[in-house]
Amino acid sequence: MKARVLLLVFILNAFTVSCQKNPVANTSADQPERLIVMTAFDAEMEALRAQAQIEDRQVINGRTFFVGKLAGKDVVLVQSGESMVNAAMTTQAALDHFPASGIVFSGIAGGVNPGLNIGDVVAPAQWGQYQEQLFARQTEEGWQAGQGEFGNFGMMFPQPVS
């Protein structure tokens, strides 16, 4: 009986410890709000860092966040890597650790539309997951990739975000 009581106490203690809340992220009230500027590729980040005055460098969840000024504005520069999943994870980490005045994604961001030029500011009318393509299937009539809802620019078949 004593062994069962000890086992129960041990299990309850382990359960209580495992359910404790994780430490709150580092979002100190004395930090200024900063514009979070994200990129996907090395070349995009290098161009931003060349124009910025970096004051601090922090590695959070494997991503390097550069804290400083860009064009006189307080910023956090971070490279998310490719994909909407990486962008979402990096955005959440940035928001968890830095007071943000806004978020801007700088770079091509999958922009393969030939109607866009370097320097264009784009707000999408619709979103598509260009990394979630359909694979074509061979049929008696030839290769069939299905009907895409968005333009594929001759190479991809994106699906709508649901």
How far is CA 63 from its chain centroid? 10
d(C-alpha 113, C-alpha 134), whole Å: 19
Given a cut of 50, whether residue 16 has pLDDT beyond it is yes
Give the predicted TM-score (pTM) of the model: 0.62
What tokens does 147 get? 């009907």
The maximal CA–CA distance of the chain, rounded, in angstroms, is 77
CB 89 within 8 A of CB 62: no
d(C-alpha 36, C-alpha 100), whole Å: 7
| pLDDT attached to residue 140 | 87
Between 117 and 3, residue with greater pLDDT: 117
d(C-alpha 140, C-alpha 120), whole Å: 43
Given a cut of 50, whether residue 149 has pLDDT beyond it is yes
Paired with 66 in beta bridges are: 57, 77
Q: Which domains does the chain have, with CATH numbers?
A: 29-109+129-142 (3.40.50.1580)
Q: Tell me the mean pLDDT in the region 84-88.
A: 85
Residues 6+ apart with CB under 8 A from 108: 40, 41, 44
Q: Which range has the top average pLDDT, 29-33, 41-45, 132-136?
A: 41-45
Span 39-85, pLDDT tens digits: 988 988 999 999 999 999 999 988 999 999 999 999 999 999 887 78
Classify residue 161 as left (phi > 0), alpha (psi -120 to 50) or beta.
Answer: beta
Residues 6+ apart with CB under 8 A from 39: 45, 48, 77, 78, 79, 80, 105, 106, 107
